[in-house]
A and B are shown apart, each in its own frame.
Chain A
Amino acid sequence: MIRDILKNKMALSGLLIITMLILVALLAPVLAPHDPYEQLLEKALMAPCWDYPFGTDEYGRCVLSRIIFGTQTALFIGLSVTVVSAFVGVGIGLTAGFYGGRFDEFLMRIVDVFLAFPGLILALVVAGLLGPGLPNVIFALALVGWMGYARVVRGAVLAEKEKEFVETARSLGASDGYIIFLHLLPNIISPVIVMASIGIGQAILGAAALSFLGIGVQPPTAMWGLMLSYGKDYLQSAPYLTIFPGVIIMVTVLAFNFLGDGLRDVCDPRYGKVIEE
């Protein structure tokens, strides 16, 4: 399995970038050339130079250092939002798809209700009601992110549960829970993994959007999305304030997408194997 991932170029490149990002996040205090929160107004809005490779922002803080520390925030939000929403979505999708009937109908109407709201607006309202802070942002984003998982998983379960191997398991005396988690889950996990990888990127973007609107993670926390929104005022005079955070967001999201696509191929048991006698 691990060898297959390493053989897949897409997965490998995604994994390399993500590993690098994780290392950067863990070693942020060592790697950052400056204190990301130290304001030196006399050095405000400096263009990239030897001392400040990515320049400085309007308060004279080192953009590179802030990007490095922003990695921590970004990965943390991305991962926790995805884990929470995937957990809830997969759970609801599995039970709804497996038991079907009115139960399924009920759960899917709840999904419809959630899908009827524009995601960001709902997150905005929830985060606004709960007040600023990282846990509230995560809750708000997870609240608008689980429906996709529920839908996809339900659909996959509806197809899988009719297959004969489920009947085989039943004829052996397997219980519902056993069939759901040991037989169905492994068969439907691939799309979840792909969605989750893309979801991490989406969560990072969503968190940035909330911050931009003044709800959610507050300044002066080092965060890519916040840097983008503050940098936009200087788009003409200091484009590096937006270019560098923008590039890093793009690279991060791309890396997770690559990893997701690669994993999807590798997770497929038919991938890269030949029938041996």
Chain B
Amino acid sequence: MTLLSIKNLNTAFKTRNGEVQACRNIDLDIEVGQTVGIIGETGCGKSVLGMSILKLLPYNARVTGEIRYLEQNLLTLSDQAMREIRGGGIGLLPQSPSTSLNPAMKIGTQIEEGLVLHRKMGKPAAKQKAVDMLTFLGIKKAKKVSEQFPHQLSGGMKQRALAAISITGEPRLLIADEPTKGLDAIVKTQVVELLKQLKAETGAALLLITHDLKVAECLCDKIVVMYSGEIIEMAATQKILKKPAHPYTKGLLQSLPEAGMTPIPGQSPSLSQVISGCRFYDRCEIRQAACRYQRVPLSVVNGSQVRCLYAD
């Protein structure tokens, strides 16, 4: 069953220097319980895609298209109804654990909020549940921790506390925005384990936004590669890693340390740049004359969806 269905999503920001289009014609389906990884370099619009789903974008953003969660189109939903969805239907595991907790509020209280709001729990029951959740996520002395403030916790503990917060409303889809950004290898492994644990506990679908292919490989059923605001390749994890079709995906895999760290030459175009043809044209090794002006649609090549005219 399809949990979330995104159709022709376009997200643009009006700025003084013209319109910055961060998401272009995104089509994406997430099944119930599925883990989808969005891969791409910094500034390719992957975080914006995540925030578009939750409608947590700055006021100058303009979102068009359709984001269907179960039977509702989120883009036409009222603020009130959207608040019900946030946390209750779609949860967010934020990027940086150190700043995503309220410094002036006890850990326990911050976990209770969602329980009271979405599960209509009473205060004492929520308090107990918060401690249980922390214990479940591997925090020792959870009762004591729930009475502490964020600055008294280590980074890993904060991450766990945030994970607990993100699932308080029993969301059916969890969006994890760069959960491993800036972490060392050991903590990264812990976070991956944590995400697996969260999934096992809640059975929720996971939208993992990351630039770390290794993390995506460990967790995802399906990988979506974004480049300059567009989806350029989308396929099952093993397929995309073993047999990448798009030259950009191939380049990404070759830039991994074990593949020799060969960088892709050049830089991705600015998101405000209007390009009639392929957005990867300037950096592509297999480019042809047609790529320059012809709009490239997503097409099926060997079972992967690829946005390339000459993919093999």
Contacts and interface: CB of A to CB of B under 8 A. Distances in A.
Interface of A: 101, 163-165, 167-175, 182-183, 186-187, 269-270, 273, 275-277
Contacts of B86: 170-173
A167 B56 contact: yes
Interface residues of B, number: 36
Contacts of B165: 168, 172
Contact of B103 (A165, A174, A275): A165
A164 B96 contact: yes
A103 B165 CA distance: 33
A277 B168 CA distance: 25
Contact of B152 (A163, A183, A276): A276
In the A-B complex, the 10 residue pairs with the smallest Cβ-Cβ separation, listed nearest first, are A171-B92, A172-B87, A173-B87, A186-B104, A173-B86, A164-B100, A173-B83, A165-B102, A164-B99, A269-B149
Interface stretch (B20-28, B111-119, B221-229, B246-254): B111-119
A187 B104 contact: yes
Contacts of B95: 164
B162 interface: yes
A168 B94 contact: yes
Given A167-B94, A172-B169, A276-B152, A269 B104 contact: yes
A275 B158 CA distance: 13
A269 B101 contact: no
Given A165-B102, A269-B103, A171 B91 contact: yes
A208 B100 CA distance: 47
A276 B154 CA distance: 9
A174 B83 contact: yes
A85 B204 CA distance: 49
B151 interface: yes
Nearest to B86: A173
B105 A186 contact: yes
A167 B100 CA distance: 8
B244 interface: no
15 contacts: A164-B95, A164-B99, A164-B100, A165-B99, A165-B101, A167-B92, A168-B165, A170-B56, A171-B86, A171-B92, A172-B168, A173-B117, A187-B102, A187-B103, A276-B148
Given A165-B100, A173-B84, 8 more contacts: A165-B101, A168-B92, A168-B94, A169-B113, A172-B86, A173-B114, A173-B118, A275-B152
A165 B149 CA distance: 13
B4 to A, nearest CB: 15
Nearest to B88: A173
A273 B40 CA distance: 41
